Amino acid sequence: MSPSPRSSHSSHSAVAPNSADSQARIELTMAELRAVAGFARACAEPTLGIFTRAYPDDPRPAEALEAARAFAEGAPRSRRQRTAATAANRAAAEATSTAARHAAYAAGAAAGAAYLHPLATATQVRHILGAGAHAARAAEIAQGEDRVVAEYLVAGAASRATPVVRAVLARYPRAPQGRSRVAALMRALDSLLRDPAPPMRPASDPGPFFHGTRADVRVGDVLAPGWRSNYGSRRPAGHIYFTASAAGAPLAAALAQGEGTPRVYRVETLGRYEDDPNVTDKRFPGNPTRSYRTRAGLRVVEEVLEWEPPPPDQVAHIRARMAELAEFGIEALD
């Protein structure tokens, strides 16, 4: 029987993660357990389709996610979560598809998160982060062992963690060391949630700079973050992206959503800017594409009227790739 969480809503007496007593208890409230289960389910859900496409008649991972959702939203913690987690893990063990196996393990971990033990041991961290790590591994395999995809999934998982989830994680030791890829992904997610983000690395490029879009703007207009993005789900963008590459802006214009005509503008920066991490940190270290982003905004200097559009097959390929990644909740631009 799993230990019951204490009913107190205070965490002041929680034992520090580096306590010599490996079985020291940590205070956990039921509300905190629900938050952890909801987080784990949100991490696992984007890769459920990997399993259901491979095994359309096997409902066990989906039932595990539903059990996690029910508990996270207020249903009593019961045998349902434990049974569903065990069943999803059995589905994983029976799967011959490696990607589907990890997707099922992610679902099982989500249901099992309801039984996070209040013990200050590193192994308990799997109840918090296991779903995200297995989901990242599932997507990575499904996309041909593309480690960049796993990085995006891990970053997406970190973005879903509420302050409550982060506070719970902080009471436990760091994720355990391991030689498996899942262990490495779990430690990467653990680090993203615990460690301060590195400071922005200001870039320096003589330019000129260009911005591709379908928006019809005027010379002197300022392009600022906060508007709906022209890409993906079109959520509000936290940055404005631009490039010093002659080919980059036309490609961005062609890929942008909307009914307007693709346009390229020469722009000037209004403040500090940094290398685009979606390119430099993940695909092309050193930023050979001269791709940047800023929160300070860009001023339109002129519209570039003569530019070479990208090949249609290149645009189609990238759009198809973006659609595949969108299934996992991945959007490169924020």
Average pLDDT over residues 193-207: 84
Residue 3 is assigned to a structural domain of this protein: no
Together in a domain, 43 and 160: yes
Query: Which of 132, 165, 194 corresponds to the end of one domain?
Result: 194
User: Percent of the chain, pLDDT > 90?
Assistant: 62
| Best-predicted range by mean pLDDT (29-43, 200-214, 223-237, 259-273) | 29-43
CA distance 110 to 142: 20
Is residue 186 within 8 A of residue 125, CB to CB? The reply is yes
To the nearest 10 degrees (0 to 180), the angle between helices 98-112 and 30-44 is 170
Q: Which two tokens stand for residue 17?
A: 């993660």
Together in a domain, 54 and 189: yes
Give how many domains the chain has, as a whole number: 2
Average pLDDT over residues 190-212: 88
Together in a domain, 54 and 144: yes
Together in a domain, 183 and 223: no
Query: Which of 139, 166, 194 corresponds to the end of one domain?
Result: 194
Together in a domain, 65 and 180: yes
Is residue 38 within 8 A of residue 75, CB to CB? The reply is no
Together in a domain, 88 and 175: yes
Taking CA atoms, 250 is separated from 212, 243, 245, in Å, by 6, 10, 9
Mean of all residue pLDDT scores within the chain:
86
DSSP string, 68-124: HHHHHTTPPP-HHHHHHHHHHHHHHHH-S-HHHHHHHHHHHHHHHGGG--SB--GGG
- The pLDDT value recorded for residue 227 is 66
CA distance 67 to 104: 14
236 in helix, strand or coil? strand
CA distance 166 to 138: 24
Together in a domain, 291 and 169: no
Together in a domain, 118 and 213: no
Together in a domain, 159 and 110: yes
Together in a domain, 216 and 270: yes
- The pLDDT value recorded for residue 281 is 55
Residue 142 is assigned to a structural domain of this protein: yes
Residue 223 belongs to domain with CATH number: 3.20.170.40
Residue 140 is assigned to a structural domain of this protein: yes
Residue 261 is assigned to a structural domain of this protein: yes
Residue 334 is assigned to a structural domain of this protein: no
Q: Give the H or E element holding residue 204.
A: none
Q: What are phi and psi of 275, to 5 degrees?
A: -60, 140
Query: Which of 140, 168, 194 corresponds to the end of one domain?
Result: 194
Number of Cβ atoms within 10 Å of the Cβ of 260: 13
Boundaries of domain holding 294: 209-327
Task: Classify residue 297 by its DSSP letter.
Answer: -
Together in a domain, 39 and 136: yes
Q: Are strands 274-275 and 291-294 parallel, antiparallel or unpaired?
A: antiparallel
Together in a domain, 53 and 81: yes
Single pTM value for the model: 0.77
Residue 2 is assigned to a structural domain of this protein: no
Residue 77 is assigned to a structural domain of this protein: yes
pLDDT tens per residue across span 29-86? 999 999 999 999 999 999 999 999 999 999 999 999 999 999 999 999 999 999 999 9
pLDDT tens per residue across span 127-173? 999 999 999 999 999 999 988 889 989 999 999 999 999 999 999 99
Residue 15 is assigned to a structural domain of this protein: no
